């Protein structure tokens, strides 16, 4: 079996999804889970992009010890320097440096000749090798590049010291056969290519990212780049869970394997979905809630007689378990803390005490407390670092089919003062959001509103995701509560508070630059 490295770019390419903006604590939580999943490389971000990105990458590199942490860099010395400062304390620091190689990119974006591109690529790799033991070089838009030119530049950067060569399908343009042919061409026409690892990075614009990644493996690639749930800018990236499970189920054909702990797939998927606000479609392969559901009577009959008639993947393989009760209202603090640790979360005593109080409140209202409920509480408490601006004190909503919906809200601002406002609307949520907008005295525009249940049943928790804009800036927020309207209000306040934090960070960066 060939070993295929998994290069996870959820925290870099995945965060470029429209509307996704993760803070440091959220990125750390995802990085820890990726480590438990067993990915080989975590691309934690773009260190030179912003102070916030730099700090998050540095924290991840200092925290994660069982896999390599990397950062993206343009072919610019200042980018490479920033990346080294952020990554130097990692267990295995590596750099991911790129430059475009397609004629359209070189002419219109870089405004450089092919010779200048080669020279810049070689110089950047040589410079990076002064610091990083492992340097990955990427040919942006490789799939629309002239193949002889691509072979020439790949050969030159290998001579300069590159350890990994990545061939990205940057715009999701290529077909599986064509993509495999590029890898075959490079293996036949580049000297010393056997000394390096070939990597595939595929986008899903034409729905072929996973198929292209598997084609690359057939053609000799030993590293696959992708994201959890296939998130990413535009149509997203190759979903690493789909690639890994395909290799496992069809190991007879591919003769290749990853080191992923497949039983951590579902938990990782849920965490990324909750923190990014990008809901997994029910029919999504491997991790969608319908992935193991059988509606057809013929299918049901077959599965009851022998599962493998229609089920090629067992739910347990990817960590899909039944939502059995794990704790109840009579559970003690010790059992509560133990279960949190078993779920993979580390909390301080203060966080445990606060969370235990919320758990008891929920247990009084909800009979069965599942792992999903606990995780929702943990994420709501542990990762909400935006409490220094506005806090929701109370809401009251009046609704009837023959009356105008009315909402009253009470907030506490950063100075500790109470703000109370009332408003009406066409529906309960609109009335609530109108009241919040009046209380905040800000022209907030609601761009997106989504709701889903945590678990099932009448007493399930509600989880609301919103995206708002203010003065041309966008932010997302989430809220969890047993009541839909309370969850809606929490999500709105979370998004607004997040906007203030982002703006504060920008102001601090501007002052530092002066």
pLDDT score of 323: 47
Q: Are residues 160 and 89 in the same domain?
A: yes
Transcribe 186-200 into DSSP letters: HHHHSTTGGGSEEEE
Overall residue count recorded for the chain in this entry: 514
Domain-located, residue 291: no
Q: Are residues 381 and 410 in the same domain?
A: no
Q: Are residues 72 and 208 in the same domain?
A: yes
Binding positions for Mn(2+) are 13, 201, 203, 237
Strands 134-140 and 197-202: unpaired
pLDDT score of 387: 61
Q: Are residues 223 and 262 in the same domain?
A: yes
- Report the alpha-carbon distance of residue 79 to residue 128 in Å, rounded: 10
Q: What total number of domains does the chain contain?
A: 3
Q: Are residues 371 and 412 in the same domain?
A: no
The candidate with the shortest Cα–Cα distance to 268, out of 235, 244, 246, 251, is 244
Domain-located, residue 286: no
Between 422 and 501, whose confidence is greater?
422
Question: Quick check: pTM over 0.85?
Answer: yes
- From residue 444, give the alpha-carbon distance in Å to each of 210, 428, 469, 470: 39, 18, 6, 5
The yes-or-no verdict on residue 180 having pLDDT over 80 is yes
Q: Are residues 129 and 224 in the same domain?
A: yes
Domain-located, residue 371: yes
Q: What is the pLDDT of residues 192-203, one digit of tens each?
A: 999 999 999 999
CATH code at 218?
3.20.20.70
Domain-located, residue 77: yes
Could you list the beta-strand ranges (E) of 87-205: 94-100, 134-140, 164-169, 197-202
433-450 mean pLDDT = 93
Q: What percent of the chain has pLDDT over 70?
A: 92
**Computed over its alpha carbons, how large is the radius of gyration of the chain?**
25
289 near 282, Cβ under 8 Å? yes
Q: Which of 28-37, 235-244, 325-334 has the lowest mean pLDDT?
A: 325-334
The yes-or-no verdict on residue 29 having pLDDT over 60 is yes
The candidate with the shortest Cα–Cα distance to 89, out of 112, 68, 120, is 68
Helix, strand, coil share (%) of the chain residues, nearest 5: 45, 20, 30
Mean pLDDT score across all residues of the chain: 90
The yes-or-no verdict on residue 33 having pLDDT over 70 is yes
23-47 mean pLDDT = 96
Domain-located, residue 287: no
The candidate with the shortest Cα–Cα distance to 94, out of 106, 80, 110, is 80
- Report the alpha-carbon distance of residue 491 to residue 466 in Å, rounded: 6
Q: What is the pLDDT of residues 361-379, one digit of tens each?
A: 888 887 778 788 888 888 7
Q: Which of 171-180, 381-390, 477-486 has the lowest mean pLDDT?
A: 381-390
User: Per the structure block, which two tokens stand in for 431?
Assistant: 């009335």
What value, to the nearest 5°, has the Cα angle with vertex 100 and ends 97 and 104? 170
- Model confidence at 425, in pLDDT bands (50, 70, 90)? very high
- Model confidence at 346, in pLDDT bands (50, 70, 90)? confident
- Model confidence at 304, in pLDDT bands (50, 70, 90)? low
Transcribe 258-310 into DSSP letters: ----GGGHHHHHHHHHHHH--PPPTT-TTTSTTTT---SHHHHHHHHH-GGGT
Q: Are residues 144 and 13 in the same domain?
A: yes
Sorted by sequence, the CB contacts under 8 Å of residue 194 that are 6+ apart come out as: none
Q: Are residues 157 and 272 in the same domain?
A: yes
Domain-located, residue 285: no
SS3 assignment, position 156: helix
pLDDT score of 511: 59
CATH code at 452?
3.30.160.270
- Report the alpha-carbon distance of residue 367 to residue 209 in Å, rounded: 43
Q: Are residues 196 and 60 in the same domain?
A: yes
Domain-located, residue 210: yes
Q: What is the pLDDT of residues 45-90, one digit of tens each?
A: 999 999 989 999 999 999 999 999 999 999 999 999 999 999 999 9
User: Per the structure block, which two tokens stand in for 62?
Assistant: 């200092």
Q: What is the pLDDT of residues 210-249, one digit of tens each?
A: 999 999 999 999 999 999 999 999 999 999 999 999 999 9
pLDDT score of 325: 45
Between 138 and 372, whose confidence is greater?
138
Q: What is the pLDDT of residues 117-133, one digit of tens each?
A: 999 999 999 999 999 99
pLDDT score of 507: 58
| Residue 203 phi, psi (nearest 5) | -100, 160
- Report the alpha-carbon distance of residue 254 to residue 247 in Å, rounded: 6
Query: Looking at 342, 360, 385, which one is the last position of a domain?
Result: 385
106 near 112, Cβ under 8 Å? yes
Q: Are residues 244 and 270 in the same domain?
A: yes
User: Is residue 483 packed enough to be buried (19+ CB in 10 Å), middle (13-18) or exposed (0-12)?
Assistant: middle
Domain-located, residue 12: yes
- Report the alpha-carbon distance of residue 232 to residue 89 in Å, rounded: 27
User: Per the structure block, which two tokens stand in for 378?
Assistant: 């943990």
Q: Are residues 265 and 160 in the same domain?
A: yes
396 near 418, Cβ under 8 Å? no
| Residue 30 phi, psi (nearest 5) | -65, -40
- From residue 227, give the alpha-carbon distance in Å to each of 93, 112, 240, 258, 268: 20, 31, 6, 15, 11
Query: Looking at 362, 385, 408, which one is the last position of a domain?
Result: 385
431-460 mean pLDDT = 90
Query: Looking at 385, 410, 439, which one is the last position of a domain?
Result: 385
283-289 mean pLDDT = 94
- Model confidence at 283, in pLDDT bands (50, 70, 90)? very high
- Model confidence at 404, in pLDDT bands (50, 70, 90)? very high
The yes-or-no verdict on residue 440 having pLDDT over 50 is yes
Strands 403-412 and 2-3: unpaired
Q: Are residues 262 and 135 in the same domain?
A: yes
pLDDT score of 194: 96
Binding positions are 13, 201, 203, 237
Q: What percent of the chain has pLDDT over 90?
A: 68
- Report the alpha-carbon distance of residue 25 to residue 380 in Å, rounded: 12
Between 325 and 2, whose confidence is greater?
2
289-294 mean pLDDT = 78
The yes-or-no verdict on residue 324 having pLDDT over 50 is no
Parent domain of 428: 391-513
CATH code at 305?
1.10.238
User: Is residue 381 packed enough to be buried (19+ CB in 10 Å), middle (13-18) or exposed (0-12)?
Assistant: middle
């Amino acid at each position: 079996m060939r070993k295929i490295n998994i290069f996870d770019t959820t925290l870099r390419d995945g965060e470029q999804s429209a509307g996704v903006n993760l803070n440091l604590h959220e990125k750390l939580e995802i990085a820890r889970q990726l480590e438990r999943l067993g990915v080989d490389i975590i691309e934690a971000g773009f260190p030179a992009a912003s102070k916030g990105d730099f700090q998050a990458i540095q924290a991840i590199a200092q925290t994660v010890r069982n896999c390599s942490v990397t950062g993206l860099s343009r072919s610019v010395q200042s980018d490479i320097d920033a990346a080294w400062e952020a990554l130097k304390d990692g267990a295995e620091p590596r750099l991911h440096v790129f430059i475009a190689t397609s004629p359209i990119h070189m002419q219109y974006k870089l405004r450089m000749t092919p010779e200048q591109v080669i020279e810049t690529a070689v110089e950047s790799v040589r410079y990076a090798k002064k610091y990083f033991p492992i340097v990955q070089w990427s040919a942006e838009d490789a799939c629309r590049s002239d193949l002889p030119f691509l072979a020439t530049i790949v050969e030159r950067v290998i001579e300069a010291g590159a350890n990994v060569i990545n061939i990205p399908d940057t715009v999701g343009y290529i077909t599986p056969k064509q993509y495999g042919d590029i890898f075959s061409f490079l293996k036949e026409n580049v000297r010393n290519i056997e000394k390096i690892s070939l990597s595939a990075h595929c986008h899903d614009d034409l729905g072929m990212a996973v198929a292209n990644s598997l084609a690359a493996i057939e053609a000799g690639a030993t590293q696959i780049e992708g994201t959890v749930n296939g998130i990413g800018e535009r149509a997203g990236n190759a979903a690493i869970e789909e690639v890994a499970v395909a290799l496992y189920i069809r190991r007879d054909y591919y003769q290749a394997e990853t080191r992923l702990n497949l039983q951590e797939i579902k938990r990782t998927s849920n965490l990324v979905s909750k923190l990014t606000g990008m809901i997994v479609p029910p029919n999504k392969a491997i991790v969608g809630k319908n992935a193991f559901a059988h509606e057809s009577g013929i299918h049901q009959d077959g599965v009851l007689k022998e599962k493998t008639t229609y089920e090629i993947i067992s739910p347990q393989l990817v960590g899909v378990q039944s939502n059995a009760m794990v704790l109840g209202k009579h559970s003690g603090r010790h059992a509560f803390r133990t279960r949190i640790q078993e779920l993979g979360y580390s909390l301080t005593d203060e966080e445990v005490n606060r969370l235990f109080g919320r758990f008891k409140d929920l247990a009084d209202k909800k009979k069965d407390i599942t792992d999903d409920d606990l995780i929702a509480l943990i994420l709501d408490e542990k990762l909400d670092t935006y409490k220094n601006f506005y806090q929701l004190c109370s809401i009251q909503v009046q609704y009837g089919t023959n009356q105008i919906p009315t909402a009253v809200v009470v907030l506490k601002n950063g100075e500790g003062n109470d703000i109370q406002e009332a408003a009406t609307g066409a529906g309960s949520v609109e009335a609530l959001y109108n009241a919040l907008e009046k209380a905040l005295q800000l022209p907030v525009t609601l761009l997106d509103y989504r709701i889903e249940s945590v678990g099932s049943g009448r007493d399930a928790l509600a989880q609301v995701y919103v995206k708002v804009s203010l003065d041309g800036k966008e932010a997302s927020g989430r809220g969890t509560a047993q009541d839909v309207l309370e969850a809606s209000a929490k999500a709105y306040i979370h998004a607004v508070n997040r906007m203030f934090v982002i703006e504060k960070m920008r102001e601090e960066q501007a002052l530092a630059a002066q």
